[in-house]
């Protein structure tokens, strides 16, 4: 259980922060950039939820917000090989979380017409915010993949980010009611 009695600690005043294993790193480290961008995705999901209140889409977004905290916890703890030494259960993303996204994507996509063009981000306010969620999650994915080139990263975390952007894409199409804003190549030359 997390207890936050004091919000400011002053321990980051010199540009460092603590990882989940207690190690201190620069706030601009690749790991902090990756999980910080996951936090940014979560904030954009919060904006999208303002336009989905009380709907099935809102329930899906709420599940995703919780998953994103799991993902941040996963990414902030390096050295998966040392998880057993932690003295507490380390929270890691599991393949089942991505599999749930896949089932939800399939269910949302089933009634939609096949795409014959790329679509432009926009349409309804909810769709526009879901496209913002998609692009920020793609950035988080790129940062996690880049981190994985130099440090250990849970493969399930990267898979989740990949599926998540697909979820946001299909959800944006649903939010537009099947009336996608289509790209017309070279339309304004």
Segment 63-95, tens digit of pLDDT: 999 999 999 999 999 888 888 888 888 899 999
pLDDT at 10: 77
More confident residue, 14 or 33: 33
Q: Please classify residue 117 by burial: count the beta carbons closer than 10 Å to its beta carbon, then call 0-12 exposed, 13-18 middle and 19+ buried.
A: exposed
Question: pLDDT tens, 9-30?
Answer: 776 777 777 777 777 877 788 9
Percent of the chain with pLDDT over 70: 97
CATH number listed for the domain at residues 25-175: 1.20.1200.10
Could you tell me the CA-to-CA distances from 108 to 25, 116, 174 in Å, in that order? 41, 18, 7
Residue 143 scores a pLDDT above 80: yes
Place of tokens 């952007």: 165
**Cβ–Cβ contacts within 10 Å for residue 56, how many?**
12
In this model, does residue 2 exceed pLDDT 70? no
Parse the chain into domains and list their residue ranges: 25-175
Q: What is the pLDDT of residue 155?
A: 97
* Partner residues linked to 18 by β-bridges: 24
Phi, psi (rounded to 5 degrees) for 5: -90, -35
* Cα 168 to Cα 127: distance, rounded to the nearest angstrom: 9
Q: Containing H/E element for 156?
A: helix 155-175
Residue 52 binned pLDDT confidence (cut-offs 50, 70, 90): very high
**pTM flag (> 0.85):** yes
């Amino acid at each position: 259980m997390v207890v936050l009695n004091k919000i400011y600690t002053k321990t980051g005043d010199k540009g460092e922060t603590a990882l989940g294993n207690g190690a201190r790193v620069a706030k601009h480290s690749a790991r902090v950039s990756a999980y910080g961008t996951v936090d940014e995705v979560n904030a954009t999901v919060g904006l999208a939820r303002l336009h989905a209140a009380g709907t099935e889409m809102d329930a899906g977004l709420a599940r995703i917000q919780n998953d994103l905290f799991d993902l941040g916890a996963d990414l902030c703890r390096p050295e998966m090989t040392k998880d057993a030494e932690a003295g507490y259960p380390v929270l890691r993303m599991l393949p089942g979380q991505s599999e749930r996204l896949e089932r939800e994507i399939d269910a949302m996509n089933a009634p939609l017409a096949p795409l014959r063009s790329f679509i432009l981000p926009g349409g309804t306010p909810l769709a526009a915010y879901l496209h913002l969620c998609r692009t920020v999650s793609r950035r988080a994915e790129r940062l996690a993949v880049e981190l994985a080139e130099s440090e250990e990263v849970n493969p399930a975390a990267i898979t989740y980010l990949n599926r998540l952007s697909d979820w946001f894409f299909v959800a944006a199409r649903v939010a537009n009611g099947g009336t996608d804003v289509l790209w017309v190549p070279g339309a304004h030359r």
